[in-house]
Amino acid sequence: MTTIQSISPAHTTSISPINLSALSERLRASTRTVDVTDMGNGLIVTDERTPYLRTYIRPDGIALPRWEYPAPDRRGRIRGLKPYDVQAVQRLDSPTIPLTPFTLAGDTSRQTLLLRLHLDRQANRLAPHQVHTALRLDQLTISVNARHDVWGAFQHLLADAIAAGGTDRLFADGPDRDMQILIDAMASPAAPSVIAALIIGEVERLIPDKDRTARDRELRFIIDDITYDTDPDTQTDQAERLTDTAVELLSHVRIRPDQTRIRMMRALLTGIANRLPASALAAANVSRASLGGTLILISWWLGRDLDRLAESALRLEIATGTTTGTRAVRNGRPGWLA
């Protein structure tokens, strides 16, 4: 049986005991989706929005959240999950995925707020079972049609976001087919390359047919040629090459982009990047900061608040090192503003 002590990491720092009974009552009263179980030696907090996430609260105020997936039943089902979700769970290294512990400081009101923020954050993120990259990776590796589907899914979602005036509706429910395809590509080892290729395709889209060179025609659907190989060196080289190409195009193409379209592109791709679970990024050997180092080029292309953006690029460089993308954002201007 799981106990509070059995999952307590040794590195957490204790604080003075908290009032578990008061915290339990305040949580139940303030959040109708939350259920709290008093174990005697701590609390277990669950939320109906994230049914397989449990947050264990120790008497000293340390919160220990983790995903806990049950084994499938005799029919191969897990309650509330779709068949592909179940397959994704079965491909996880472990059905238990710990999240970063945190401390509930302050009085009961403050502790309740911290827990609610944590639960809201996790409800707005993708759960581990909603990332199916492990199921799709072989297909992306061998099939050009599967790779082109990433471009098609992106175009469909972008059109939907533009029509709706934002991405809220796209992220409101569980992923549909198009969203699942794009999520899985962005949770793959090739994620930075996927983002760079989408930027390249959007820049090439602006160039009139009569002005397109053979290279332009080749780059228009460069996403079809991405390799999803899991070798880190291969992915680093590919990301650098595609980011270099994206920067070159953004720096030299003087056609003003459709601002609404590019804002929605940024909202869509950034929305996915921010919602990916840390466990999925770790499995792909990709950091959120490395995605940010490519995504920042979309903001640069928009051409607004370039000084502030240069500061953001510098912060990214501190986290991940200098890249062609961050260097361009710090030192240059997009071609349409030249």
Residues 6+ apart with CB under 8 A from 10: none
Tens-level pLDDT at each residue, the chain (338 residues) = 455 655 655 445 545 789 999 999 999 998 889 999 999 899 999 999 999 999 999 999 999 999 999 999 999 999 999 999 999 999 999 999 999 999 999 999 999 999 999 999 999 999 999 999 999 999 999 999 999 999 999 999 999 999 999 999 999 988 999 999 999 999 999 999 999 999 999 999 999 988 889 888 889 899 999 999 999 999 999 999 999 999 999 999 999 999 999 999 999 999 999 999 999 999 999 999 999 999 999 999 999 999 999 999 999 999 888 999 999 999 999 999 98
Q: Report pLDDT digits (tens) over 105-155.
A: 999 999 999 999 999 999 999 999 999 999 999 999 999 999 999 999 999
CA atoms within 13 A on the CB side of 226: 38
Phi, psi of 88, deg, nearest 5: -65, -40
Residue 335 CA to chain centroid, in angstroms? 29
Phi, psi of 43, deg, nearest 5: -115, 150
Q: What pLDDT does residue 13 have?
A: 52
Please, is 150 exposed, middle or buried when counting C-beta atoms within 10 Å of its C-beta (0-12, 13-18, 19+)? buried
pTM for the model: 0.92
Phi, psi of 229, deg, nearest 5: -55, 145
Residues 6+ apart with CB under 8 A from 221: 148, 151, 201
Dist. CA 111–CA 43, nearest whole Å: 13
Q: What pLDDT does residue 10 have?
A: 47
Q: Report pLDDT digits (tens) over 252-282.
A: 999 999 999 999 999 999 999 999 999 999 9
Does residue 36 sit in helix, strand or coil?
Answer: strand
Residue boundaries of the structural domains of the chain: 5-126, 133-337
Q: What pLDDT does residue 250 have?
A: 97
User: Do the Cβ atoms of 269 and 298 come closer than 8 Å?
Assistant: yes
